[in-house]
Amino acid sequence: MLIAGNWKMFKGPAATRAFAAAFEPPAGVEVVVAPPFVSLAAAVESGLTTFAQNVHWEPEGAYTGEISAPMLLGLGVAGSLVGHSERRQYFGESDEGVARRAKAALAAGLRVIACVGETLAEREAGKTEQVLRRQVSVLEPNERLVVAYEPVWAIGTGLTATPETAQEAHAFVKSLLDAPVIYGGSVKPDNAAALMAQPDVDGALVGGASLDIESFASICTAAARSHS
């Protein structure tokens, strides 16, 4: 069971240190946090298993605003998210770019959580499997790769896929690629246990609820109990 907290554009270094000092992950679950780039060093130094929120495919070069896998490794960062729906939606990241980022990060020795998922319009049009097949097809099997299924319609909206819907999507992704699949999409303490109980749900990518220590700890505990 892997629980990853995506802090998005929240928590600077001081807030990160305060969180780390107060947070005690429960036994039986692996917990990672993905803070903003400015807080990576603080998270690592505080003893948290730390992922970046994105990583570039080149080791260095004229890519203003980007960060490379060797730079992250030099900080002690363990892995990175790639292809989060917000990166795709707001910054135009493509399946090809996501694949290049994932491949370079994995080759450098980072772990990767690659995000996939359909929009509400795609789901209503019956294209969920088509979209997932397209997004997953560019990823190559790797022991350090985890896929995060995040239905875009359930991110920051308060909507959540039912446990049965999540299970169906996770099983489909696993039929395409041999990798653990975690669920992301408005995961909260009150729905975490039901989601984690599904046989093909291997953890969660938690957004807003990961910013609050009590909420995040509750989700982590639910995950630990579900496979104990």
Q: Which residues are known to be catalytic?
A: 84, 150
Q: Measuring CA to CA, how many Å separate 223 from each of 13, 199, 204, 209?
A: 27, 12, 8, 14
Beta bridge partners of 181: 147
DSSP annotation of 198 reads S
Which residue type occupies 31? V
How buried is residue 197: exposed, middle or buried, by Cβ count under 10 Å (0-12/13-18/19+)? middle
Which residues have CB under 8 Å from 119's CB, separation 6+? Answer: 152, 153
- Asked if 147 and 141 count as a contact pair (C-beta separation under 8 A), the reply is no
> Residue 149 has what DSSP assignment?
E
- The dihedral through the CA atoms of 141, 142, 143, 144 has a sign that is negative
Please name which of 211, 215, 218 lies closest in space to residue 5, comparing C-alpha atoms: 211
